[in-house]
């Protein structure tokens, strides 16, 4: 994990995942996924749009933001309670029409939970009994929209 300043930060992990926050870690967005099969171990940015990522087996990646190509819209959603205990609920109007997918990642970028959401549900509950206390990332995906937020589990 690397923070350029108090707002702009990046995290990297398994399966070539790179996450970015522009609000001090409250919300995270996956900016790259599947870049490599190697575990990514370090990240350093020189500006908000230029950085380097290192990983196992001599992996070295350069990140440069490309604007206007393949941009996706952001999903608005709420997680509550957060911090959560054995379960939490997610609320998003996006899923009433389109349905979608919920994914939970650990701090190393490993996907731990994947849940398909049927269209028509504004709220849904997620069981966290298989996870330990800690910080995770909750990612919602629907059509060409996605968003990631920090999830804290306290048992």
Considering the domain architecture, whether residues 133 and 86 belong to the same structural domain is answered as yes
Domain membership of residue 72 (yes or no) is: no
Q: Are residues 82 and 149 in the same domain?
A: yes
Q: Give CA separation, 72 vs 4, 85, 133, in Å.
A: 24, 31, 31
Are 32 and 84 in the same domain? no
Count: domains in the chain = 2
pLDDT 10s digit of each residue in the chain, 155 long? Answer: 889 888 888 888 887 788 889 899 899 888 877 777 778 888 888 777 778 888 887 777 777 765 444 445 678 889 999 999 999 999 888 888 888 889 998 887 788 999 988 888 788 899 999 999 999 989 888 877 788 888 999 98
Domain that holds residue 97: 78-153
Nearest in space to 133 (alpha carbons), one of 108, 111, 112, 151: 151
Asked if residue 149 is part of any domain, the answer here is: yes
Provide the CATH number for the domain around residue 94: 2.60.40.3080
């Amino acid at each position: 994990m690397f923070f350029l300043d108090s707002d702009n930060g990046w995290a990297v992990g398994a399966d070539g995942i790179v996450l970015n926050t522009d609000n001090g870690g409250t919300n995270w967005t996956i900016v790259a996924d599947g870049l490599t099969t190697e575990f990514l171990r370090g990240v350093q940015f020189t500006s908000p749009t230029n950085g380097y990522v290192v990983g196992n087996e001599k992996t070295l990646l350069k990140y440069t933001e490309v604007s206007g190509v393949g941009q996706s819209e952001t999903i608005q959603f709420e997680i509550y309670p957060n911090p959560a205990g054995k379960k939490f609920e997610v609320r998003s109007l996006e899923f009433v029409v389109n349905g979608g997918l919920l994914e939970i990642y650990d701090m190393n970028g490993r996907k731990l939970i994947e849940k398909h959401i049927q269209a028509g549900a504004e709220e849904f509950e997620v069981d966290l009994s298989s996870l330990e206390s800690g910080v995770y990332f909750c990612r919602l995906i629907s059509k060409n929209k996605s968003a990631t937020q920090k999830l804290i589990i306290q048992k």
